[in-house]
Amino acid sequence: MIKGFKEFIMKGNVVDLAVAVVIGTAFGAVITALVESVLMPLISALVGSPNFDDFAKVTLNGNDIAFGVLLTAIVKFIIIAAAIYFVVVVPMNHMIARRNAKLGINPDEETPDPQVVLLTEIRDALKTRN
């Protein structure tokens, strides 16, 4: 039982996943700092308050329903998504395109599935046989 667990843990996929989680957590802290320390103050300078928590608060039977908290979370999510897109995704896509061009790889070319090629050859061989 221990041997099976050790083999499972030592597989490349599990180790890769663990590394990805650690790096993702660290990168999440960087993006959070960017949003909270740089982007939200810029929005605050332009709009007024970056915090919409008290913006839409409704009291129902003595309970506060704070739609503003949801609005703040949505705005932060959009800013974080935009920051990740422009800081990570766009540069990574450019790097991949440059690497592919250097290696002569054209991602628009469809490479046929080897199984389909084999089945086509078998079909053609059977046609000529009959």
| b/e 2-38 (16+ beta carbons within 10 angstroms → b) | eeeeeeeeeeeeeeeeeeeeeeeeeeeeebeebbeee
Mean pLDDT of 87-112: 85
pTM: 0.56
Lowest mean pLDDT among 35-39, 53-57, 92-96, 111-115: 53-57
Instruction: Let me know: does 31 contact 83? Beta carbons within 8 Å.
Output: yes
**Model pLDDT for residues 44-99, shown as the tens digit of each residue:** 888 777 677 777 778 888 888 888 888 888 888 888 888 888 888 899 999 999 99
Instruction: Let me know: does 81 contact 28? Beta carbons within 8 Å.
Output: no
Residue 120 confidence (pLDDT) above 70? yes
